Chain A
Amino acid sequence: MFVSSAARAEPTSNATIPWAQLPVGYHPATDTDEGGIWMIGERAEAEVRTSPLVIKDPALNAYLRRIVCKLSGPYCDSIRIYVVDIPYVNARMAPNGMLQVWTGLLLRAQNEAEISFVLGHEISHYLLRHTVAQYRRVRDQAGTIAVIGALTAGIGSLAKLGLAGSASSFSREEEREADQRGFELATAAGYDPAQCVALWQQELAEETAAPKDGEFAAFAANHPATTERVSTMTAMANVAAAQRANWQTNADAFRKAVQPFRAQWVSENIALAQYEQSLLVLQLLLKSEPKSGELQYYLAEVYRRRNADGDSAKALAAYAAAVTTRGAPPAVYRGLGLASLKAGDKAAAHTAFQKYLAAVPAADDRAMIEYYLSQP
């Protein structure tokens, strides 16, 4: 059924994951076709490993590793996780066991269960050796995009995101199989099946809002979050729900793991300057944390920067809400000052700026704020 390295005698199937197409600890012989494909993953992994976009924080990595191990059981040691700081929703497994998780995914997830279905899906592609078949297809096809480029796209350049998607397009059958098996892995580990569609629904909403020629649209075109897929997974969830009484979401553990990064990831999302999509992300986050001053602040920032018709009033309202809500960072006064200045309300701007400087005496833009204050 498959060729395993002659140096190790492996069982031909795994008792806990009987449908896996490769034994635990598998590594193809280097002079085989599959060995060559594996090497592509290794070269890509060497680039990923030294990329400045990889988040090496031990606590976050340990947290994600725990999830991967819960899902993949004895295959856990064959999978290496890389948290890549790219503000798009993606997780991707290479033929050699390199698993990338992009921070756009971690930002939008509401709990550990949501993540588990995505990771289960990727792990299934690996266990079913879809990744090998896929890269063989890509390599054999004339006029196709380079395989390493696909694996490191995003790492290399956001502008290549469009390429990343198409080169990693699995067949519809492969995607369906990975959805099914990934669902099984996650539910076998106790994760609540009702959580399996939330991220897909969010992606659908963002795709709809995205400008047609924006980078997000290019990326999304190759990672279809189709309504068909959402309804299939919803049906699976409905069937599975009754099987247990105590499904887990582990929302607390998840929030604790990602909280230290939240402000950074939201800022990076806003820095994309794709504001319709940022608003959807913030609305999603605010749904479960309506009393977060931090999120209110970022919402205000999006309106201020977008500066479309009516946004000035929305920004001012959001800043006003943020300053009265716990958790808003001191920069809220800076934003309020800027928005007030643009709206022509100098008195309010000056009050806000003074509050900002009082709260952040060592602000790196102190000189500029003082300049604004000095203007009559």
Chain B
Amino acid sequence: MKAAFPFLAAAALLLAGCATPAYTNIGAEQTVLVTDGISVSPQIQWGKANMTGFNGTLWTVDGAGLDALLFFVGSPGRPLIESQASKGDTHVYQSSMLPDDVMELLAANFQKIGFQQVKTSSLRPSAFGGAIGFRFDISYTTTIGLEMKGMALACQRNGRLDLIVFLAPAEYYFGHYAPAVDRLFASVQVAG
């Protein structure tokens, strides 16, 4: 049976707690504070979802099923993604984790919320503001068999993990937005 909104791509599962959030404007030229101490330059116009029941921030251009830019903060002892759909997920972040462990953890958290055939690849160091973080690529399929791609940028500092993940269908959308997201990743600034 195809359940309610069954084929919204996986990012939308994160919104299970609130089906229709309001969206506020994120202009291309601003510098935006996304989480405590982290700011980025958006590069293109986005809509920011204002919602509860989800521990991250979501920006999108065409809707979460088509492109989703997610900002998370990982805290020790908690999964990276926390929402209705992830209840009971026992795979938690520890500050002693290596980048490899963080990549495996995100894959496990994604699987928990229903992403299928999750694969990660191309783990590599990457600038995160003035610090050294890491990047990796993601692929998965949704419950209706739509192929998806993703790219992630992360940094561990002071016992906490900052993570930015972009997810979009492999057909057109990922390739269309990847250059802008690349520039956004490069624009990260860390306060202090």
**Chain B residues whose CB sits within 8 angstroms of the CB of A53 once the complex forms:** 116-117, 141
The reply to whether the CB of B143 lies closer than 8 angstroms to some CB of chain A is yes
State which of B90, B91, B145 has its C-beta within 8 Å of the C-beta of A51: B145
State which of A145, A211, A307 has its C-beta within 8 Å of the C-beta of B1: A145
Interface-lining segment among A96-104, A155-163, A182-190, A245-253 = A155-163
Indicate if the CB atoms of A368 and B134 lie closer than 8 Å: yes
Q: Which chain A residues numbered 24 to 74 have a C-beta less than 8 Å away from chain B?
A: 50-53
**Chain B residues whose CB sits within 8 angstroms of the CB of A159 once the complex forms:** 85, 113-114
Complexed CA–CA distance, A53 and B108 (Å): 18
Q: Which chain B residues numbered 114 to 142 have a C-beta less than 8 Å away from chain A?
A: 114, 116-118, 121-125, 132, 134, 141
Complexed CA–CA distance, A272 and B116 (Å): 11
The reply to whether the CB of B25 lies closer than 8 angstroms to some CB of chain A is no
Q: Which chain A residues numbered 138 to 170 have a C-beta less than 8 Å away from chain B?
A: 145-149, 156-159
**Chain B residues whose CB sits within 8 angstroms of the CB of A156 once the complex forms:** 6, 143-144
**Chain A residues whose CB sits within 8 angstroms of the CB of B118 once the complex forms:** 271
The reply to whether the CB of B20 lies closer than 8 angstroms to some CB of chain A is no
Q: Provided the pairs A52-B147, A157-B114 are in contact, do residues A368 and B104 lie with their beta carbons within 8 angstroms?
A: no
Complexed CA–CA distance, A53 and B116 (Å): 9
**Chain B residues whose CB sits within 8 angstroms of the CB of A367 once the complex forms:** 123-125
Indicate if the CB atoms of A157 and B143 lie closer than 8 Å: yes
Indicate if the CB atoms of A368 and B99 lie closer than 8 Å: yes
The reply to whether the CB of B192 lies closer than 8 angstroms to some CB of chain A is no
Complexed CA–CA distance, A235 and B147 (Å): 48
- Total interface residues in chain B, CB < 8 Å: 34
The reply to whether the CB of A341 lies closer than 8 angstroms to some CB of chain B is yes
The reply to whether the CB of B4 lies closer than 8 angstroms to some CB of chain A is no
Indicate if the CB atoms of B116 and A146 lie closer than 8 Å: no
Size band of the A side of the interface? 20 to 34
Q: How far is the CB of A41 from chain B (nearest CB, A)?
A: 14
The reply to whether the CB of B111 lies closer than 8 angstroms to some CB of chain A is yes
Q: Provided the pairs A52-B145, A158-B116, A159-B114 are in contact, do residues A342 and B98 lie with their beta carbons within 8 angstroms?
A: yes
State which of A51, A148, A272, A305 has its C-beta within 8 Å of the C-beta of B111: A272
Complexed CA–CA distance, A269 and B99 (Å): 22
Indicate if the CB atoms of A52 and B117 lie closer than 8 Å: yes
The reply to whether the CB of B96 lies closer than 8 angstroms to some CB of chain A is yes
Q: Provided the pairs A51-B145, A52-B147 are in contact, do residues A365 and B96 lie with their beta carbons within 8 angstroms?
A: no
Indicate if the CB atoms of B107 and A271 lie closer than 8 Å: yes
Complexed CA–CA distance, A124 and B141 (Å): 34
**Chain B residues whose CB sits within 8 angstroms of the CB of A158 once the complex forms:** 111, 114, 116
The reply to whether the CB of B88 lies closer than 8 angstroms to some CB of chain A is yes
Complexed CA–CA distance, A146 and B6 (Å): 14
Q: How far is the CB of A67 from chain B (nearest CB, A)?
A: 26
Q: Which chain A residues numbered 324 to 376 have a C-beta less than 8 Å away from chain B?
A: 338, 341-342, 364-365, 367-368, 371-372
**Chain A residues whose CB sits within 8 angstroms of the CB of B145 once the complex forms:** 50-52
Q: How far is the CB of B187 from chain A (nearest CB, A)?
A: 21
Indicate if the CB atoms of A341 and B143 lie closer than 8 Å: no
The reply to whether the CB of B171 lies closer than 8 angstroms to some CB of chain A is no
Residue of B nearest to A368 (CB): B123
Residue of A nearest to B126 (CB): A367
**Chain A residues whose CB sits within 8 angstroms of the CB of B104 once the complex forms:** 305
List, sorted by A's number, 10 A–B pairs whose CB atoms are closer than 8 Å. A52-B116, A53-B116, A85-B117, A149-B1, A159-B85, A342-B96, A342-B98, A364-B122, A364-B123, A368-B124
Binding site for B on A (CB under 8 A): 50-53, 85, 145-149, 156-159, 211, 213, 271-273, 305, 307, 338, 341-342, 364-365, 367-368, 371-372
Binding site for A on B (CB under 8 A): 1, 3, 6, 85, 88, 90-91, 94, 96, 98-101, 104, 107-108, 111, 113-114, 116-118, 121-125, 132, 134, 141, 143-145, 147
- Counting from the closest, the 4 A-B pairs by CB-CB distance are A146-B1, A149-B1, A367-B124, A365-B123
Known: A147-B1, A367-B124. 10 other contacts (CB 8 A): A52-B116, A53-B116, A211-B90, A213-B88, A271-B118, A273-B91, A342-B98, A364-B122, A368-B99, A368-B125
